[in-house]
Amino acid sequence: MAPIRIHAVAYISANNHPVLIRSFIDNGNALKYHYIAHTALDVIEERVNEAKHPYLGLLYSIDDVAVYAYMTPLNLKIVLALALADAVVPDIKVHTIFKAFHMAYYHAVSNPFLDLDPANPVPLNSPKWKFFTRQLDEICAVVGAGV
């Protein structure tokens, strides 16, 4: 099966503020993923009412990406933009990716030296996230390699 290419991942806090939006494709068009993450919230809100599982599945596909979402028990939302390819994307695989991203975040915020306001976590570009973003890049690389 063709490897899944991740275009971007977005972490959105429980009160819908962006936490971190990281785009892995290298044309600096992160703004587009801001829009995608933001609009994804619409569908997430709709799905969350019914779903009991954290994995919310495909939200929509637009332009060249398919947007998936995942919601942690603490209502942190993770939005994933995958490259749109002509292949079936197995839910189990996406779910695994989400779990990896969730764990990365979990480990990052578990850092006792990271002083966080839980209602309003430190947003992106903070140097505090350096390790975290590196981990995200690693996950992306691993997924992209088709493992």
Partner 1 sequence: MFVAGLDAPSPQSPIDAAPTRLPDPFTLLTARLREALLSQRKVSIWQPDKNKSFQVLLVDKDIRFPPRKIGPQDDSQHAVPHSPLSPLTPSSPLYPDGLIAPIWIRKHTTLVPSVFVLFLRLFEFPLHNLRSPLDAPDPDREKDREQEERKRDGELASYVASRKKSTNERNMKLTVVLMASRRMLDDPALDARLTFIRKQSGLDARAALFVLSPVSSSELGDFVQSLQQALYEPAVEYYTSHSKRVRRKRNRHTQAVSSYSNPLSPVGHPGTIRPLRPEGWTVRYEYKMACFAEFRGEDEVALKHYQDAYEVLAVMFGSMSILPPRTKRWAEAKVLADCINIKITKLYLYNNEHSLALSHHTTHIRKFGDLSRGWGIGEETFEYWSWVARQYRILAELLEQGTHSTLSLPSHRPVAYNTALYTSTAQNPSSSRGSTPALETDALRSLGLNPSYALQHPGFYYYMAARCTEMRRERFLIALDAEGVSNSPGFANEKKVDHLVIILELYTKSYELFKKYTPSSQGQSQARLTLWIAYRIGQTYFDSGKFDMAIRFFERIAKTYRRENWDPMLRPLLTTWYACVQQLGDVELSVRLLIEMLGHGVDESEEPETLQDDLLAVLKSTVPSSPDEPFIIDLSGSQPIFDSNVVFWTHEVKVGQPVAFQVSITAPSDVAICELPFMSLSIRFSDDTLPLVLLQHSGAEIDEPSKVTHINLGHISKTGTDVPPTLKTNLRWKQDSTLVLSGTFSSEVPTTLKIEELLLTLTEGTWNIQIPMDPCSYRHKILPTSKWLASLKPLKFINVKRENSSSMIVRHRSHNVLLSLTHHSPACIDEVYPISIEVTNADNRELEVTMDILLQPTEVDDAVNSITLDDEQSSGLIKGISFGVLMPGVSSIKTLNLFNTGGAGDRMIDISIQSRVSSRDDPKEDLSKSDMEDVSEILQTLTVPTVKALKVTYDVAYRRHLDERLGLADLRRFEEDFWDDGEAGEALVTLRLECAGPWALELQKVTLERQNNDGAKVLETSTDMFDEADFSSEYVPGDEFSGLCRISLQGGEQYIPGPGTYLVQWCRIHDDGTRGSTSTSVFPLPSLRLPTDGLVGLLQISPVARLHQALPLTLRICNNHPTRSATCTVHVEPDPSDGFVIAGLRSGRVPILLPGTEEKILWNLIPIECGYIKLPKIKVVDHRKLIINVQGIGESEVEGQAVKIVDVRLDRRRESVIAESNETEQEGGKNTRPPDPENDSEEIWGTVLVLP
Candidates 72-80, 105-113, 118-126, 139-147; binding stretch for partner 1 (CB under 8 A) = 118-126
CB atoms closer than 10 angstroms to residue 1: 9
Q: Is residue 84 within the footprint of partner 1 (CB under 8 A)?
A: yes
* Contact track, partner 1, 25-44, x by CB under 8 A: -----xx--xx--xx-xxx-
Whether residue 23 contacts residue 87, with contact meaning beta carbons closer than 8 Å, is answered with: no
3-state secondary structure (DSSP) of residue 80: strand
DSSP 125: T
CB atoms closer than 10 angstroms to residue 13: 18
* Whole-number Å distance between alpha carbons of 37 and 123: 14
Strand-pairing partners, residue 79, are: 10, 69
Q: Is residue 45 within the footprint of partner 1 (CB under 8 A)?
A: yes
Candidates 71-79, 85-93, 101-109, 133-141; binding stretch for partner 1 (CB under 8 A) = 85-93
* Sole binder of partner 1 in the list 3, 5, 14, 62 (CB under 8 A): 62
Smallest separation (angstroms) from partner 1 to the CB of 56 = 7
Which of residues 81 and 104 has its CB atom nearest to partner 1 in the complex? 81
Q: How far is CA 84 from CA 60, 63, 124, in A?
A: 11, 8, 26
> What residues make contact with partner 1 under the rule CB under 8 A?
16-18, 21, 30-31, 34-35, 38-39, 41-43, 45-47, 49-51, 53, 55-63, 66, 82, 84-94, 115, 117, 120, 122-123, 125-126
